[in-house]
Structure 1
Amino acid sequence: MRKRRLSSIGMVRRSRALVTSPRLWKPRLVFWAGAFAIGIISAGFAWLADEAQKVFAGVVGAGGWHGYIPLALTPAGFMLCAWLAFRFFPGSQGSGIPQAIAARHLRDDDERGRFLSLRMVWGKIVLTIVGLACGASIGREGPTVQVGASIMVQAARWGGMAQARGLILAGSAAGIAAAFNTPLAGIVFAIEEMGRSYQARTNGVVLSAVILAGLASLALVGTYTYFGVSHAYAAFPGDWPLVIACGIIGGAAGALFSSATLRITRRIRRWRTEFPLSRTLIVAGCAGLVVAVVGVLSSGATFGTGYAEARGAIEGHALPPLFFVAKFVVSLASTISGIPGGLFAPSLSVGAGLGSTLGQIFGADVGLAAILGMAGYFAGVVQAPMTAFVIILEMTGNHDNVIALMAASMLGYGTARLIAPEPLYHSLARLFLADAIRRRRVEQQAS
Structure 2
Amino acid sequence: MAIKVLKDLCRGCKMCIKACPFQAIDMDGKIAVINEKCTACGACISACPFKAIEKTVDEDVVDLSAYKHIWVYAEQRHGELMGVARELLGEGHRLSREISDDTQVCAVLVGNKIDHLAKECYEYGADKVYLLEDEKLENFTTDGYTKVIVDAINEYKPEIVIYGATHIGRDLAPRVAARLNTGLTADCTKLDVKVSSYIDYCNKNTTLDTSSLDANDPDTGLKQTRPAFGGNLMATIICPKTRPQMSTVRPGVMSKRERNPQATGELVKVDVKVADSDIRTKIINIVKEAKERVSLTDAEIICSGGRGLGAPEGFELIKKFADKVDGVVGSSRACVDNGWIDHSHQVGQTGTTVKPRIYFACGISGAIQHLAGMQSSDIIVAINKDPDAPIFSVADYGIVGDLYKVIPQIIEEWDNAEALFEASQK
TM-score clears 0.5: no
More strand by share: 2
How does the TM-score come out when normalised to structure 2? 0.27
Asked which structure has the greater CA Rg, the reply is 2
Q: Which has the higher helix share?
A: 1
**Higher RCO (C-alpha under 8 Å, 6+ residues apart):** 1
TM-score, normalised on structure 1? 0.26
